[in-house]
Copies of this chain bind each other. A is one copy, B any other.
Amino acid sequence: MAEKEKLSIVVFSGDLDRALTAFMLATTGASMGMEVSMFFTFWGLNIIKKNEGGIRGKGLMRKMLNLINRGGSKRLKLSKLNMFGLGTWMMKRLMKETNMPSIDEFITMVKNMGVQLIGCTTTCGVMGIPPEEDTFRSEVEILSGATYFLGEARKSKVTLFI
């Protein structure tokens, strides 16, 4: 049997627009029969942090950093035209009107389609995020570093850095 073609997506950004694009491509790839992996790193870690998460991290500075950068799929903003939340609010309304899933729904959806969600442990340190399983949503299967990602990317037909 032929092996499935692989699609690897690095989700570096935690912006709503880039996150949306990543999930649209992941669902499309999976529905085309590709084997899809999403690597969440740096600001992208915010997407897969638990929404209910309190202020975590050891030490005052980590606590501060996590306060100003709380993360969680519901707190993502647009990279442009955020305009104190107005642009983000408008896009979320248009997403609903055009029946586009929310980021929360996308996470469940890709999980059900067999997409692998990976949290990058290498960048947890500099983001002041504890690299532990209960920081992240249950849909995140693997916590791993850059070596794991490059290993996958080498075997991928398409690799995107978003």
Nearest CB to that of A64 among chain B residues? B90
Interface footprint category on A: 35 or more
Instruction: State the Cβ distance, A65 to closest chain B Cβ, in Å.
Output: 5
A143 at interface, CB cutoff 8 A: no
Partner of A90, one of B65, B91, B147: B65
State whether A146 and B25 are in contact (beta carbons under 8 Å apart), knowing that A20-B126, A61-B90, A87-B68 are contacts in the complex. yes
Docked complex Cα distance between A10 and B126 (Å):
22
A28-B146, A68-B83 known, 6 other contacts, Cβ within 8 Å: A24-B146, A28-B150, A32-B147, A64-B90, A98-B125, A160-B161
Is A128 within 8 A of B5, CB to CB?
A: no
